Structure 1
Amino acid sequence: MSATTSAAPAGTGIRRPTPRTWADIAVLLVLVALGVVGFEPSFGGYSFLLAGVGGLVLGAATGILSSMFRLGALVTVLVAVVAYFVFGSAFAVQGQAVFGVLPTLQSLASIAVGSVFGWTDIVTLRTPIGAPQYIAVVPYLATWLVALVSTTLATRWIAGRPRTAWRFGIALVGPVALYLASILIGTDQPYQAGLRGVVFAILALVWLGWRRPTVASVAQGGAQRLRNRKLAGTAAIVAGAVVVGGGAGFWFAPANDERFVLREEIEPPFDPLQYPSPLSGFRHYTKQVTDDELFTVSGLKPGDVVRLATLDSFTGKLWTVTGPETATDGSGSFALVGRRIPAQTFITPEERDNVTITIGAYDDVWVPSVGYLTDLAFTGGDAVSEADSVRYNRSTGTAVLTTGLSAGDSYELDAVEQKVLTPADLDETSVAAVELPPVTGSPDIVTSKAQEFAADAATPMAQLQAIQLALTENGFLSHGRESDSQPSRAGHGADRVTELLTRVQLIGDQEQYASAFALMARSFGYPARVVMGFAPEIPEDGGAVTVTGDDVTAWVEVAFDDVGWVAFNPTPEETDIPQAQVPKPQSEPQPQVRQPPRADNEEDDLLTPVELDETDEDDNGDAFVIPGWVWVVGYSVLIPALIIFIPLLVVALIKGRRARKRRTDGAVHDRVAGAWEELVDRYAELGYAVGGRGTRLVVARGLEAQLPAGQPTGLTALAAQTDEAVFGGAEVEPERTDLVWNEALAAVAVARGSATRLRRIASRYRIRRRKRST
């Protein structure tokens, strides 16, 4: 037998790979491993290796075992997919599996979602990637698929055919594609690019060079010379790859900032411009939900504020975030993050740890937070299951939950606040060169007033202080409520800021003053942005405080060199607005109109007795509630059972239809021949070697030779009866069909009893259909 073919003992039907095939498999799997380690820059560590190696082992084991047991293409795919989902929970989404191993409905759903959408998420997530939980499915799927295809080609296609270069080239397509994918979905900082590339090239070239075995007929001396030439060629390939590959990597490799990676070309999927600007809803808090308990917060220090949204783009009508077409890293660029959030480096930090926020009446996508987040974990409510939808902007400290927050949601966070500095600390500090989108539609009165207020100031800090002092000392606070002594129109666009600065008295609230101050700062060329949030009164002990709509506020942040974004509050505290001395018109007396008498039954109509039904409460008290652990155990048992038994049921239905069609369709001699075809297929499904083109008698003798000695089967006699019915030319009685089918099924039962338990189980998942013999 040739060394390139797989030897299979005639009595077992198992096709074991040859040593050369094992060597092919080993080379291909090493190449796959070199490709998957390139995912390291995306994940910022080696947390993905369990998923990547797990997929590699699972795919290789499936391909090898399917070849050894001679599984057909359909059954191989079915077994591979089932194994992919069964073991995927343990390899890729351990946090959603029972005991980190057993699959659950949630883990299976994550595997399915990650297999489809993980490829788009991995190129839009901010690295290092920590969420969503299904993101590890990407390396798991990649290595599983490539290993499965590569081992299948090595054991079935290369092993039994001439070892030509083009066949080996096709087998290399999968590892090469994985290697390139790890580069494209990575970052501009490659992982050991030179070392991985050289090793990959050496293995691939050496494998191609050694693909042909030594010809057995060559004389001993010639074989030795041929082997020496191969060794010399291999050494030359290794040396050339090291020198050429290393030199090319040093001289011709592009700079890191010029590398082409997909994440630099794809915009994040979340577009905040599709949502209303938070500042445009400022009066909603001050007038409609003034006393509503929006959320509770604990762990803050007196003077802290809760940040909601940061806005750095002014359109003439409102302040909003920067669109992705204006700045790729502006306030409108949000990326998916995990619990560990990229740290803000442009800050003079003060830590705020163990801050807890519980949502009440608040209902929006903007996540209330403190300072710049470093850690975020949802602990209660519907948001726990939607934590993978959190997106964060590191430069502004703004977080959003695309599915929205609702009552009952709670989360814990750690953050760093900008340290509060005195004006004296910043008097000699220059503003930072931070690129912000240009202001459009700012009214001329803003520039003139800014020059007037800061006429005597020389430094940036002095100018900003002068503007802030002019607004707070000359302005008055009014939310436009009925209780306010003077009306105050909502809005913060150019028309409202013009109205604020041109009236005899400056009247407005945080919305108008923050907008005006930011525009004045921007008129000097200073990087300023508006922040909307809440300023509740924090107790000294940092205990829980309830935030209401009346606590809403807005302030301005200006960037200073080597310091960070410094907050300015330009809103005055004075609410006692002086009244203009305008004489009131005298009221004219109106004629009195007699009112109709009050109905006697009016009070009775307003109070309607209601009968309370207490039976529902009693019934609910006695209702049986299934414990949560029962659901967990049920899912853990039911889901694997469905994965195992549903394919078994599908295969059984297909086999039943096949046997029924053979037994009932066609003429009588066709049905007799169908009994023999069914027998042969059943034997093949049990792993017995069936001759491909032999006559029925030849096939029968071959099958009997594989059975234990002395085992009665009657295969030869059955083959002779079938040939007589098909080729005899005489009319066959219909009763002959049942007789032959009974004998065939009895022979199948004998073969099943002689097979091992593993082969009997595997046969239930195999489907084999031979063409009808004539």
Structure 2
Amino acid sequence: MTRLPRPALADLGVLSLLSLLGVLGYQTSFGGLDFLAAAVAGIVVGTLAAVAGTVLRLGVVTTVLLGVVLYFLVGTPFVMPDAAGFGVLPSLTALAGLAIGAVHGWADILTIQAPVEAPAYVAVVPYAAATVVSLAGGLLVLRWLPEKRTPLRAAVVLIGPVLLMLSGILLGTDESFLAAVRGVAFAAIALTWIAWRRGATVEASGDGAARLRRRRLTGSAAVVAGAVALGAVAGLAVAPISPDRFVLRDRVVPPFDPLEFPSPLAGYRTYTKDLAEEPLFRVAGLEPGDTLRLAAMDSYTGRLWNVAGPDEAAADGGYSIVGSTLPAPALADLGSARIVEVEVLGYDDVWLPTVGYGSGLELLDEGTASRGGDLRYNAAAGTAVLTTGVGAGAHYRLESRIQREPDDTALIDVPVARLDLPVVENLPDVVAAKAEEYAGDATSPVEQLRAIERGLKTNGFLSHGLASDAVPSRAGHGADRLIELFTRTQMVGDEEQYAAAMALMVRHLGHPARVVMGYAPEVTEGDDEVEVVGADVTAWVEVPFEGVGWVSFRPTPDNLDVPQEQTPKPRSEPQPQVRQPPRAEQAEDELLTTVEIDDTDDEDRDRPFQLPAWAWIAIASVGIPAAALLLPMLIVALAKRRRRRIRRRGTADRRAAGAWEELVDRYAELGFEPPERASRLQTARELERQLDEQGLGGVRLADGGVRLASIAATVDRDVFGGGDLDGDAVERRWSEADAASASVSAAVGRLRRLVARYRLRRRR
């Protein structure tokens, strides 16, 4: 085993400290320092693997694979403690998370709304990054830096911590975490360490060497102090000029695309007709007047209102992955708090009903909680979506606050907020004309909006298109339906048409607006819980006001008594009689027999075989640790086989010398320390001495009683004797070397034999 020199331990300490300063930048992404345990564990794992590989004299590849094994064995309690068995043991779920997080975690952390809390494997990012940097840096410090201790080599070692520092910035948010303090400390420690390294390499002797070293260290310290001071002053000077930080999350589009799902407003009549009496939710914690928000739609294509896609979601930031903590909206004046629990009964869709603007969302049932990584939330819209769907049995708790809505007198001088919403397409001319007609001479924005709301409520009539309604009302809110709304003798529709029409009218006047769909159950004072049915569905319009937030407008009329149109009954005129053909016994349709073709088997045959998700997790959880243990052994075994094959080639004397080299390497791989530069006889005596020290003197004889020294002397004669060496003699040398290796391998014990399978040594 190799002992670590004291300077190397100091170098490892500096490397670990700089890595810790770099990884602290992830605080802005995680919103706290809980991730620090995983990051510190990564630094320890990487450093420990580098030290163990050096002490045990393992090859670089074997050391890296040892680091991979430690990564999986140690990471569970620090990264995914909830998935650990007995608090510390890795489980199948944890092992899969450690593997997935190392590959996909960096992409998830960019699309998750800060603070990052889900999916659970996201904490793998700082853990894996710290492990890689510490392992690579430790190998450089212990194996490459001692060969030639120069400032340039020391600077190369700093690349890893610098990358950690940059990753904390790029994967973070617009805010910084002690940026000046960490930057100054990082620069001071790094430059001082390089200066110390430079002073430690001065080649002189006596008092002159000490004085020269002191002068160099003093000069370097002065340079470090000046650089740090200059950097601090420059940072303070530049900060006011360039306040924006470049972070990747501002350049990455969230992966969730609402346009992949149908517009919620397009299915409005399904609730009023088919699900009117169907219980959809059971909600506890509502107060009188509260409404449930389902989706906010701010994009109109001429056919329907929909949630803006990721390419158009500049105004509200779109939907991002969130954990149990929800981000606050940028534009809102929030008032009273709510804590509601929602139990899904007959609802089946991807949108989660919410109340107000959420601050915390906890998935309570096991089935939904296991899919927490599929949860997305839009803070500006106050709406949430579970991309894999919400069905019966889902149960969640929401903490939220309600938007304050001041009266019109308080909004009379408040301008509408300027937001970049998607451009409205195919706006009907009649809608634009009605907007200007209803707005009339109103000057302030709130007066214009109330005038439009009042015009729709007083001039229109409510009809859901049910058989019990006095006048039929066609579903939909495309351009043709809205033209019909304003051109018929009577304006008839329900919340779907009136909210869609008002939002378009407001957009025509130049104000941003969106259509919100949700539920308005009847809540009385003291109700512990309320059952929401399909008939409670509703829709309204929201318009943002500067410094206030989104104010709601409800243009749907309450009047159900639609006047009947008096249409004169057409007068009948006599027609000539025509003899009709005889009546057939069966209708034409009844003569055809319906044949149902069952193509289930064909579909099953055409569908490729797919393993279920649990099978992939089980395979990954078992296969990754098995591969981490067995692949290094296989790689080393193949390398040893190739090494042996190369040594058995060439001239006879070269093959005889190869037998001795193979023997020495086998001893070194078993944990002995043959001298690097010595003759064969000196090497043999040193190995025999180590055998005696370890109590293995009884096995230092090879097969046939040939000592290592005798083998060395025989090989020397073969190489330097100058005589002809036949093939049988060469084979005897290999047989003697293999026997000597086998005898000591059998004696050293099972653990050392196992470690030897992972070690590969080639003598210099």
Q: Structure 2-normalised TM-score?
A: 0.83
Partner AA of 1:168 in structure 2: A
Query: Residue 532 of structure 1 contacts residue 553 of structure 1 at CA under 8 Å; is this kept in 2?
Result: yes
CA distance 1:651–1:695, shift in 2 (3 Å): farther
Partner AA of 2:550 in structure 1: W
Residue 242 (structure 1) aligned to one of 215, 228, 241? 228
Stretch of structure 1 that moved more, 346-355 or 44-53: 346-355
Partner AA of 1:317 in structure 2: R
1:616-663 CA-partner distances (Å, limit 9, x unpaired): xxxxxxxxxxxxxxx9xxx99x99998777655556667778899979
Query: Residue 39 of structure 2 contacts residue 130 of structure 2 at CA under 8 Å; is this kept in 1?
Result: yes
Distance 1:48 1:228 in 2: 41
Distance 1:720 1:227 in 2: 51
The reply to whether residue 224 of structure 1 matches residue 215 of structure 2 is no
Query: Residue 295 of structure 1 contacts residue 546 of structure 1 at CA under 8 Å; is this kept in 2?
Result: yes
Deviation (angstroms), 1:29: 1.8
CA distance 1:500–1:63, shift in 2 (3 Å): same
Residue 748 (structure 1) aligned to one of 731, 745, 749? 745
Distance 1:87 1:108 in 2: 10
Deviation (angstroms), 1:83: 0.5
Residue 301 of structure 1: aligned partner: 287
Distance 1:643 1:120 in 2: 22
Partner AA of 2:130 in structure 1: T
Deviation (angstroms), 1:82: 0.7
Distance 1:242 1:659 in 2: 51
Distance 2:21 2:336 in 1: 41
Query: Residue 293 of structure 1 contacts residue 546 of structure 1 at CA under 8 Å; is this kept in 2?
Result: yes
What secondary structure sits across from 2:390 in the alignment?
coil
Query: Residue 199 of structure 2 contacts residue 213 of structure 2 at CA under 8 Å; is this kept in 1?
Result: no
Q: How does 1:309-328 map to 2 (within 5 A)?
A: 309-328=295-314
Residue 520 of structure 2: aligned partner: 535
Residue 138 of structure 1: aligned partner: 125
Residue 10 of structure 1: aligned partner: none
What secondary structure sits across from 2:389 in the alignment?
coil
Deviation (angstroms), 1:373: 1.1
CA distance 1:486–1:760, shift in 2 (3 Å): same
Residue 553 of structure 1: aligned partner: 538
Partner AA of 2:551 in structure 1: V
Deviation (angstroms), 1:586: 8.1
Partner AA of 1:383 in structure 2: T
Deviation (angstroms), 1:341: 0.7
The reply to whether residue 107 of structure 1 matches residue 104 of structure 2 is no
Distance 1:116 1:502 in 2: 58
Residue 392 of structure 1: aligned partner: 377
CA distance 1:691–1:400, shift in 2 (3 Å): same
The reply to whether residue 507 of structure 1 matches residue 492 of structure 2 is yes
Query: Residue 431 of structure 1 contacts residue 527 of structure 1 at CA under 8 Å; is this kept in 2?
Result: no
Deviation (angstroms), 1:381: 4.9
Query: Residue 381 of structure 1 contacts residue 408 of structure 1 at CA under 8 Å; is this kept in 2?
Result: no
Residue identity (%): 46
Residue 56 of structure 1: aligned partner: 43
Q: How does 1:661-676 map to 2 (within 5 A)?
A: none
1:89-130 CA-partner distances (Å, limit 9, x unpaired): 122222222344221111111111211111122223222222
Deviation (angstroms), 1:194: 2.4
Deviation (angstroms), 1:514: 0.6
Query: Residue 115 of structure 1 contacts residue 137 of structure 1 at CA under 8 Å; is this kept in 2?
Result: yes
Distance 1:214 1:650 in 2: 41
The reply to whether residue 581 of structure 1 matches residue 578 of structure 2 is no
Residue 720 (structure 1) aligned to one of 710, 719, 728? 710
Residue 708 of structure 1: aligned partner: 692
Residue 488 of structure 1: aligned partner: 473
Partner AA of 1:512 in structure 2: Q
The reply to whether residue 476 of structure 1 matches residue 473 of structure 2 is no
Query: Residue 426 of structure 1 contacts residue 461 of structure 1 at CA under 8 Å; is this kept in 2?
Result: no
Stretch of structure 1 that moved more, 16-25 or 275-284: 275-284
CA distance 1:114–1:329, shift in 2 (3 Å): farther
Query: Residue 666 of structure 2 contacts residue 741 of structure 2 at CA under 8 Å; is this kept in 1?
Result: no
CA distance 1:524–1:729, shift in 2 (3 Å): closer
CA distance 1:216–1:116, shift in 2 (3 Å): closer
Deviation (angstroms), 1:245: 1.2
What secondary structure sits across from 2:116 in the alignment?
coil
Residue 768 of structure 1: aligned partner: 760
CA distance 1:698–1:91, shift in 2 (3 Å): same
1:435-488 CA-partner distances (Å, limit 9, x unpaired): 142434322322433344344756544443443333233322223344444332
What secondary structure sits across from 1:122 in the alignment?
helix
CA distance 1:645–1:679, shift in 2 (3 Å): farther
Residue 126 (structure 1) aligned to one of 69, 94, 113? 113
Between the two proteins, the alignment pairs up a number of residues equal to 714
CA distance 1:641–1:467, shift in 2 (3 Å): closer
CA distance 1:243–1:422, shift in 2 (3 Å): closer
Deviation (angstroms), 1:40: 1.9
Q: Structure 1-normalised TM-score?
A: 0.82
What secondary structure sits across from 2:288 in the alignment?
coil
Residue 194 (structure 2) aligned to one of 188, 200, 208? 208
CA distance 1:419–1:128, shift in 2 (3 Å): same
Partner AA of 2:416 in structure 1: A
What secondary structure sits across from 2:34 in the alignment?
coil
Which segments of 5 or more consecutive residues in structure 2 lack a partner in the other structure? 587-613
1:372-406 CA-partner distances (Å, limit 9, x unpaired): 11111111153211112211111111112222223
Partner AA of 2:358 in structure 1: L
What secondary structure sits across from 1:404 in the alignment?
strand
CA distance 1:655–1:258, shift in 2 (3 Å): closer
Partner AA of 1:107 in structure 2: A
Residue 688 (structure 1) aligned to one of 672, 689, 694? 672
What secondary structure sits across from 2:742 in the alignment?
helix
Distance 1:402 1:719 in 2: 73
CA distance 1:558–1:525, shift in 2 (3 Å): same
What secondary structure sits across from 1:353 in the alignment?
strand
Residue 358 of structure 2: aligned partner: 373
The reply to whether residue 433 of structure 1 matches residue 417 of structure 2 is yes
What secondary structure sits across from 1:396 in the alignment?
coil
Residue 176 of structure 1: aligned partner: 162
Stretch of structure 1 that moved more, 208-217 or 229-238: 208-217
Query: Residue 111 of structure 1 contacts residue 137 of structure 1 at CA under 8 Å; is this kept in 2?
Result: yes
Distance 2:333 2:638 in 1: 75
Query: Residue 202 of structure 1 contacts residue 237 of structure 1 at CA under 8 Å; is this kept in 2?
Result: no
Query: Residue 431 of structure 1 contacts residue 526 of structure 1 at CA under 8 Å; is this kept in 2?
Result: no
Deviation (angstroms), 1:233: 0.8
Distance 2:743 2:13 in 1: 44
Residue 271 of structure 1: aligned partner: 257
Stretch of structure 1 that moved more, 210-219 or 117-126: 210-219
Deviation (angstroms), 1:419: 4.2
Query: Residue 521 of structure 1 contacts residue 528 of structure 1 at CA under 8 Å; is this kept in 2?
Result: yes
Partner AA of 2:98 in structure 1: I
Stretch of structure 1 that moved more, 514-523 or 43-52: 514-523
The reply to whether residue 157 of structure 1 matches residue 144 of structure 2 is yes
What secondary structure sits across from 1:137 in the alignment?
helix
Query: Residue 298 of structure 2 contacts residue 514 of structure 2 at CA under 8 Å; is this kept in 1?
Result: yes
What secondary structure sits across from 1:708 in the alignment?
helix
Distance 1:688 1:266 in 2: 54
Deviation (angstroms), 1:280: 2.0
1:278-309 CA-partner distances (Å, limit 9, x unpaired): 21222333344444443332322233221111
Residue 147 of structure 1: aligned partner: 134
Stretch of structure 1 that moved more, 494-503 or 450-459: 450-459
Partner AA of 2:145 in structure 1: I
Deviation (angstroms), 1:67: 0.7
Query: Residue 141 of structure 2 contacts residue 157 of structure 2 at CA under 8 Å; is this kept in 1?
Result: yes
Partner AA of 2:742 in structure 1: L
Partner AA of 1:717 in structure 2: R
Deviation (angstroms), 1:429: 5.2
Which segments of 5 or more consecutive residues in structure 1 lack a partner in the other structure? 1-13, 598-630
CA distance 1:135–1:492, shift in 2 (3 Å): same
Deviation (angstroms), 1:43: 2.0
Q: How does 1:313-352 map to 2 (within 5 A)?
A: 313-330=299-316, 333-344=318-329, 346-352=331-337
Residue 88 (structure 1) aligned to one of 75, 81, 84? 75
What secondary structure sits across from 1:17 in the alignment?
coil
